[in-house]
Amino acid sequence: MNVPAPALAAPRAARRLTGELAALLVIWQRDMLHYRRDRFKILVTVLQPIMMLTVLGAGLASLLPATPGGADYRTFLFPGMLMMTVQAPAISAGVALVTDRQSGFLREIVMAPVRRETVLIGRCLGGGSIATCQGALLLPLAGIARLPYDPITLALLLGEMVINAFMMTALGVLLAIAITRTESFYAVLSIVTMPLIFLSGAMFPVSGLPGWLFSAVLVNPVSYAVDALRRTTVARLPGPVPATLFDGPRWGGWHPPVILELACIVVAGAAMLALASRRFSRNP
């Protein structure tokens, strides 16, 4: 008896989908296993923002008067430290991709019967999970930044870090696909990541920048990531905060809502991942 083609195609598609999901899980588990084993790297990655928050933040906080609600420079700096902590391990996903290419492991992966896009998505899931875990380690320091330990606020910050980690991991993967040599990758990485942080408002307010630099702030996706984190933190403060200090990117004088900023981050991450997938499908 002849079996209809649609009846045969359905189990075949289900098996293929199961294989793709299994490959995603394996790649994610591999990255998480490396993360759990390298405890010294976890400590070093978290130690720098802790020192900046406690030393630099406390020093500059003494020069700036606190707001009626108790916020000072440490309150302003805390969202930037969260973003910097997320950025480092997220970008490291690209470093791992370059290393796997150099060792030949990446070529072995792409020989498996799975789509190459699945490999990149798995890397983004692993890198994003690691970056989120690193950022979550800083949340207990909210008290140093004069922020209340509000479960809703901490949960919102954690959710926003997940989105930000996805975007930064997609950026790291895109750079790793576009640049094949390890030395060139590290050079470009330092050139790209520093302006992204300094032009995001993580360290100082963007409202005082000249017009030509503020245009760079508007096209910088990290600006919206930092601003979303900062607006989430100050929303739970008991008193008002100075608009000049806690202001973010504006579109013609209009301050976009947090949900729109997060949507821009998701779109930017998806666009970078699509570009990386297109290039990777041609030449791994």
With respect to residue 9, please indicate whether it lies within any of the assigned structural domains: no
Contact 176, 184 (CB under 8 A): no
**What integer pLDDT is reported at residue 59 of this predicted model?**
78
Size of the chain in residues: 284
Task: Look at residues 90, 101, 46, 78 and name the one whose alpha carbon lies nearest to residue 189.
Answer: 90
List all residues 6 or more positions away from 188 whose beta carbon is below 8 Å from its beta carbon. Answer: 175, 179
| Distance (Å, whole) CA 195 – CA 189 | 11
Question: Could you tell me the residue range of the domain that residue 232 belongs to?
Answer: 17-282
Which letter, b or e, does each residue of 138-173 get, where b requires 16 or more Cβ atoms within 10 Å of its Cβ? bbebbebbbbeeeeebbebbeebbebbbbbbbbbbb
With respect to residue 220, please indicate whether it lies within any of the assigned structural domains: yes
Q: What is the mean pLDDT of each run of 10 residues along the chain (284 residues)?
A: 52 77 86 86 81 80 65 86 89 81 74 79 90 91 85 93 94 86 79 87 82 86 93 80 74 89 94 89 66
**What integer pLDDT is reported at residue 267 of this predicted model?**
95
**Any idea which residue has 């470093």 for tokens?**
95
| DSSP class per residue in 91-102 | HHHHHHHHHHHH
With respect to residue 3, please indicate whether it lies within any of the assigned structural domains: no
**What integer pLDDT is reported at residue 251 of this predicted model?**
87
Beta bridge partners of 251: 254
| Distance (Å, whole) CA 84 – CA 148 | 21
With respect to residue 163, please indicate whether it lies within any of the assigned structural domains: yes
With respect to residue 12, please indicate whether it lies within any of the assigned structural domains: no
With respect to residue 244, please indicate whether it lies within any of the assigned structural domains: yes
Contact 82, 90 (CB under 8 A): no
**Any idea which residue has 């779109």 for tokens?**
267
SS3 251: strand
**What integer pLDDT is reported at residue 63 of this predicted model?**
64
Q: How many helices (DSSP H) and strands (DSSP E) are in the chain?
A: 12, 0
Residue 161 tokens read as: 């870090």
**What integer pLDDT is reported at residue 82 of this predicted model?**
92
Chain CA centroid to CA 242, Å: 27
With respect to residue 108, please indicate whether it lies within any of the assigned structural domains: yes
**What integer pLDDT is reported at residue 10 of this predicted model?**
59
Contact 232, 160 (CB under 8 A): yes
Structural domains of the chain, count: 1
With respect to residue 268, please indicate whether it lies within any of the assigned structural domains: yes
CA distances from 104 to 98, 107, 108, 115, 259 (A): 10, 5, 7, 18, 41
Q: What is the pTM of this model?
A: 0.87
